[in-house]
Amino acid sequence: MKKKILIFSTAYLPLIGGAEIAVKEITDRFGDNFIFSAEGGPASSWEFDLICARIKKELPAQEKIGNVNVYRMGWGCALDKYYLALCGHYFAAKMHKKNHYNAIWAIMASFGGFAAMFFKKKNPTVPFLLTLQEGDPPEYIKKRVEIFGSWFSQIFTRADHIQAISNFLAGWAKDMGAKCSIEVVPNGVDVKKMSVSNFSPYGRSPEGRQFSKKDFKKKLGIIENDKVIITASRLVEKNGIADLIKAMSSLPTDVKLLILGSGPLENNLKLLALRSLGEGGDDKILFLGNVLNNDVPRYLAISDVFVRPSLSEGLGISFLEAMAAGVPIIGTKVGGIPDFLKDGETGLFCEVSSPKSIAEKINLLLSGEALRRKIIINAGQLVEEKYNWDKIADQIKAIIDRLTI
């Protein structure tokens, strides 16, 4: 019997964030070739429809991406998110009348979450799964949704099951008044795609072929023996990139920083780099903009340390990707990071908003080969055991199976 699931998400691919990648990775693994029932036979077939805001005019109103039929609402502008929140349930009701969904699934307590909540109010017998992927501080989120009043808390109270990607977010769900069962199932990584030996002179290309780290460094203007620090994130305040840039002035001249990602603070951060490092800032800090997810392994393969000194964090999939790639990580003790970062075992903690602490921890990893190896090995084992998308997809499938019995 085919199970039909209706997903509500504020945005979807090709607009990339941790939540969008998670939906794609999980639903791709819901085919009969990947997951089998507890009895050993093939699993039921699945069908996924997803409603989201259009946001950009060039995105089609309807298309299929992987195993998901994507339906975008709006005109291709920022207002589409509010249109989704307030009117998405009407569109969903028409689709439900035709497709008779077995469950609805909201990705984050955001604009798509409002649409799912309103749909649930009109269709109380349809099971409602809420996934929490939020990376912003709860206080910031509350302030942003004040205009919606008590509707926001109803996203939590009307859910039949909540899946949070970290213990921090599970605690937030309880604080918001959730009465249903709450389960922590993290985001993950494609271990096969990301994992390469950090001690090898070769890395892995997006096509799976080996490539020369030396040649790739040269292409970026990095000398072969330079040490490379990498960070990957949206350039927004919560990710602490300004503190990382300030830390670079306390590191040796042969240490380079790669910044993957873009965002509203990009120009400000470039000016900060020039002020902090002078004219040599352009050579020491490389702003590489948005990098395709498939290309990330190349950059990790040439890197010595991954750093993201977050001010808040739901979980942090970029940390997990670095761990899978054999790059030791440095992070702060905030949000969901302590779920996977054990100080001195799977990474190192730095202090929040402290460039001095960041520099000290980077120097520790660059100078201590025994510590590096220990962290790389432990982190790789943890990712394989707990953060492998194949295993996570099994857990999500089990949740939906229980809800749709």
Angle, helices 111-122/80-99, rounded to nearest 10 degrees: 40
Is residue 206 predicted with pLDDT exceeding 60?
no
Task: Annotate 215-244 with DSSP letters as a single string.
Answer: HHHHHTT--TT-EEEEEES-SSGGGTHHHH
- On whether both 306 and 239 belong to a single domain, the answer is yes
Same structural domain, 177 and 199: no
Asked if residue 14 has a cis previous peptide bond (ω within 30° of 0), the answer is yes
Residue 198 has pLDDT above 60, yes or no: no
Say if residue 255 is in the same domain as residue 175.
no
DSSP 167-222: HHHHHHHHHTT--SEEEE----B-HHHH---TTSSEEE-TTS-EEEHHHHHHHTT-
Instruction: Tell me the C-alpha distance between 359 and 354, whole Å.
Output: 9
CATH number of 356's domain: 3.40.50.2000
Domain shared by 179 and 295, yes or no: no
> What is the tens place of the pLDDT at every residue in 296-330?
999 999 999 999 999 999 998 899 999 999 999 99
Structural domain harbouring 369 = 191-386
Q: Is residue 41 over pLDDT 60?
A: no
Q: Where does the pLDDT of residue 42 fall: very low under 50, low under 70, confident under 90, or very high at 90 and above?
A: low
Q: Average pLDDT of 126-151?
A: 87
Residues 170 and 275 in one domain: no
If asked whether residues 261 and 374 sit together in one domain, one would say yes
pLDDT at 405 over 50: yes
Asked if residue 176 and residue 147 are part of one domain, the reply reads: yes
Residue 226 has pLDDT above 50, yes or no: yes
Reply yes or no on whether the pLDDT at 24 is more than 80.
yes
Both 50 and 108 in one domain: the answer is yes
Within 211-350, where are the H helices?
213-219, 241-247, 266-277, 281-284, 296-301, 317-324
Q: Are residues 183 and 242 in the same domain?
A: no
Nearest to 216 by CA among 198, 195, 238, 201: 201
How far apart, in whole angstroms, are the C-alpha atoms of residue 144 and residue 140? 6
Q: What is the CA radius of gyration of the chain?
A: 22
Q: Please count the structural domains in the chain.
A: 2
Tokens of 24: 């794609």
Predicted confidence band of residue 145 (pLDDT cuts 50, 70, 90): confident
Whether 320 and 336 map to the same domain: the answer is yes
* Same-domain pairing of 158 and 264: no
**292 with 261: CB under 8 angstroms?**
no
Averaged pLDDT of the chain: 91
When pLDDT is averaged across residues 261-270 and rounded to a whole number, the result is: 94
How far apart are the two ends of the chain, measured CA to CA in Å? 12
pLDDT tens digits for range 353-387 = 999 999 999 999 999 999 999 999 999 999 999 99
Which of the residue ranges 3-7, 32-36, 100-104, 195-199 would you say has the lowest mean pLDDT? Answer: 32-36
pLDDT for res 69: 97
Tell me the average pLDDT across 43-56. 88
227 has pLDDT over 50: yes
pLDDT category at 115 given cuts 50, 70, 90 is very high
307 and 216 belong to one structural domain: yes
Residue 293, pLDDT score = 80
